[in-house]
Structure 1
Amino acid sequence: MIRIVVADDHAVVRQGLTGLLDDADGLTVVGVAADGGEAIALVREHRPDVVLMDLQMPGTDGVEATRAIVAERLGAEVLVLTSFSDQARIHAAIDAGAVGYLLKDAEPADLIAGIRAVARGESPLDPRAARQLIAARAERDLELSPREIEVLRLVVEGLLNKQIAQRLGISERTVKAHLTSIFQRTGATDRTQAALWAQRHGL
């Protein structure tokens, strides 16, 4: 039996998740928390296998709660379940020690499968979250500057150098310099290849 603590600040969500999980074979909810502080207390009390953690909560948020639970080595793995798929929140949650990241629009079967995967020692990631992590790694590996990333994204949109310059408030010469650097770092030989590279890496 996989024992679960659910942490979410919305009562309707807590109730819905509890009903869904208790109805699933091999899963049982042993505690329900409305904020991160309650989640930490429940994990200390019940020592669950998995904590289903929302990120946006009053008081102690999901990232802080995850960090505390992991730091105390309470034996629980944290699976984030949130509405947010932006890069900053994903990185914050993973850096805090979460082992998986799912979004609230996931199918019920996918959520249940994700909890079981965490209990097996795996790390389920929503495809959108995985794409953000890959994109962030690509940015770090290539060391593209924030401005180069902006230019590349506008190339993907189909803007010409003059339009990019106007959008960013820089000269066309500067745009060309950024493109030259982008081509060198990505191995692209033209704008089309650079745009395709950006799309493959989720930029």
Structure 2
Amino acid sequence: MRPSVMLVDDHTLVLEALAALLRPEFGVLGLFTDAAAALAAALRLHPDLLLLEVELPGRQGVDLVRQLRRSNSAVRCVFVTQRADPVRARECLAAGAWGYVLKDASPAELIAGLRTVAAGGVHVSPQIEALLARREASAPGRRHSLDLTERQQEVLARVAAGMAGKEIATDLGIALKTVEFHKCRISRQLGLNSTAAMTRYAIERGLVHERKRD
């Protein structure tokens, strides 16, 4: 079954172009220039993916993502944007987006990225990943636990304590897929590509000790 997708952008021409590109592989449920209408439709239609611009008329795209998360929506949001800004990209990913793709990306990158997200992964355009890495390298002191949400810190602490995914899910009272989602986001946000790396990071910042005192 093809993943379903909704598109939100302030330019009708962009929406039509994206829809034409995606229709061979995705079920396009709707095109929206209005963020409020898109939010209402997403909560009603439950698409697999929601593609949106960072700047939308009357509302920031990141606010729409946060509202979907507060509504416990399972839709996976992917920003398709002209904003090649690592600070904004980090904000969007931290808010719960599953992807951040630049509008100058190739059609092949966009489709491959959406496939990755539909399968449960995260995709960020290589240019943005490089900018994020450069930013971290120039200010290593900023890579600390406060980059993570409270829930991400809870998951990371339990990973470092040696707990398996199902154990973490039971301990926190959340679904296993939610645990995997947070682990994937932690890996992307901090560049931690293994359990060992996550464990070292958590130990260095005292998160494991905080877990042991619970």
Instruction: Give the CA deviation at 1:143.
Output: 5.3
Question: 1:32-51 residue pairs with structure 2 within 5 A?
Answer: 32-51=31-50
| CA distance in structure 2 between the partners assigned to 1:84 and 1:118 by the alignment | 20
Aligned residues between the structures:
142
Q: Secondary structure at the match of 1:106?
A: coil
Q: Is the contact made by 1:35 and 1:61 (CA closer than 8 Å) also made in structure 2?
A: no
RMSD over aligned CA atoms reads 1.7
Instruction: Give the CA deviation at 1:102.
Output: 0.4
Instruction: Give the CA deviation at 1:82.
Output: 0.1
Larger Rg: 1
Identity score, percent: 32
Contiguous gaps of at least 5 residues in structure 2: 144-214
Q: Please name the residue that 2:13 is paired with.
A: 12
* Counterpart amino acid of residue 136 in structure 1: R
Runs of 4+ in 1 over 3 A off after TM superposition: none
Q: Is the contact made by 2:66 and 2:96 (CA closer than 8 Å) also made in structure 1?
A: yes
Q: Secondary structure at the match of 2:55?
A: coil
| CA distance in structure 2 between the partners assigned to 1:41 and 1:111 by the alignment | 25
* Counterpart amino acid of residue 106 in structure 1: A
Contiguous gaps of at least 5 residues in structure 1: 145-203
C-alpha deviations, 1:142-171, integer Å up to 9, x for none?
A: 459xxxxxxxxxxxxxxxxxxxxxxxxxxx
Question: 1:17-166 residue pairs with structure 2 within 5 A?
Answer: 17-22=18-23, 24-25=24-25, 27-142=26-141
Q: Is the contact made by 2:4 and 2:49 (CA closer than 8 Å) also made in structure 1?
A: yes
* Counterpart amino acid of residue 44 in structure 2: E
* Counterpart amino acid of residue 63 in structure 2: E
Q: Is the contact made by 2:136 and 2:142 (CA closer than 8 Å) also made in structure 1?
A: no
TM-score with structure 2 setting the length: 0.62
Q: Secondary structure at the match of 2:116?
A: helix
Q: Is the contact made by 1:33 and 1:42 (CA closer than 8 Å) also made in structure 2?
A: no
* Counterpart amino acid of residue 82 in structure 1: T
* Counterpart amino acid of residue 20 in structure 1: L
Q: Please name the residue that 1:170 is paired with.
A: none
